[in-house]
Structure 1
Amino acid sequence: MPVESEMHHLRRCVELAGEALAEGDEPFGSVLVDASGVALMEDRNRIAGGDRTRHPEFALARWAVEHLSPEVRAAATVYTSGEHCPMCAAAHAWVGLGRIVYVSSSAQLVGWLSELGVPEPPVRPLPIQSVAPGVVVEGPVAGLAEEVRGLHCRYHGAAPE
């Protein structure tokens, strides 16, 4: 599990997810951090315009391959508010990024959306390691996951319990 010094990156992911929600997007946010703990890039969901591939994890993978050496990418960590979808997990693996730490899991998200009566997405939510078995993955993070749940409830018009 993440150590205390990493929690500010995870909290920033939740803040970015809140920013996405405020802009009408699904609440997801991610931060790419180098081996020394320096945040290199961050992004939030940007799908409200109609391009459903504009996930923050995918944007970070694209940015990393354009700006970082393979060695720096391999030593980096992607912190994210929600476990990568299959598209983002594949992008992460293809560009050779290192570890992933997520606040809430795909299984949690599926459960929350089911409780809210939200239809299933067009792509099956799979655990990262089903798509990218060589990637080190940690999560979910207790406490923060409930904050992410609240954001999803708000996005889908329900009051968090």
Structure 2
Amino acid sequence: MTITQVDRAHLSRAVELAREALDDGDEPYGSVLVDAAGRVRFEDRNRVKDGDQTRHPEFEIARWSANHLTPDERAAATVYTSGEHCPMCAAAHAWVGLGRIVYATSSAQTGTWLAQWGVPPGPVATLPINAVAPDLLVEGPVLELAEKVRELQRRRFGA
């Protein structure tokens, strides 16, 4: 598949949610769940600042989907996210049977930026989504959003 203008609009909203997270003192990540008819069903941003490191928006989408959508609805949905899923979120996405993932920036891009700024790696290995969940349909990065996401990450670390 190719990235469409509709995809770009949802990704832009995910990046805006990432900015909202950063402005609230959280890590800058945001995600949007869109159903097969193109309706936004759920959106969230990172909420880890209070100590629960599982409060990633992609994980929240998986939880919400498991409780509110049928298996067929989950499989037909698309998750748009500012940054590629971490291994925890990729596994949650696969376990609940969500469909396509479209991300603005890859984990590799973020890792490169953090290394350039001298930020030590986190406690979990950085892996591409398909290394964790090989059958998921994944598209990204979307390069025209990379600089916006990079700037959010730079602000987060004061680089």
Tell me the percent identity: 65
CA offsets, 1:61-100, max 9 Å, x none? 0000000000000000000000000000000000000000
Match of 1:91 in 2: 92
Match of 1:2 in 2: 3
Q: For residue 5 of structure 1, report the CA deviation from its aligned partner.
A: 1.9
Q: Give the secondary structure class of the aligned counterpart of 1:143.
A: helix
Q: For residue 145 of structure 1, report the CA deviation from its aligned partner.
A: 1.2
Q: Normalising by structure 2, what TM-score?
A: 0.98
Match of 2:123 in 1: 122
Counterparts of 1:22-101 in structure 2 under 5 Å? Answer: 22-101=23-102
Match of 2:143 in 1: 142
Q: Normalising by structure 1, what TM-score?
A: 0.97
Q: For residue 149 of structure 1, report the CA deviation from its aligned partner.
A: 0.4
Q: For residue 37 of structure 1, report the CA deviation from its aligned partner.
A: 1.0
CA offsets, 1:92-138, max 9 Å, x none? 00000000000000000100100111011000010000000010000
Q: Which runs of 4+ in 1 moved over 6 A?
A: none
Whole-Å separation in 2 of the counterparts to 1:24 and 1:37: 31
Structure 1: gaps spanning 5 or more residues: none
Q: Give the secondary structure class of the aligned counterpart of 2:143.
A: coil
The amino acid that maps onto 2:24 is: E
The amino acid that maps onto 1:133 is: P
Match of 1:19 in 2: 20
Structure 2: gaps spanning 5 or more residues: none
Q: Does 1:109 align with 2:110?
A: yes
Whole-Å separation in 2 of the counterparts to 1:103 and 1:37: 19
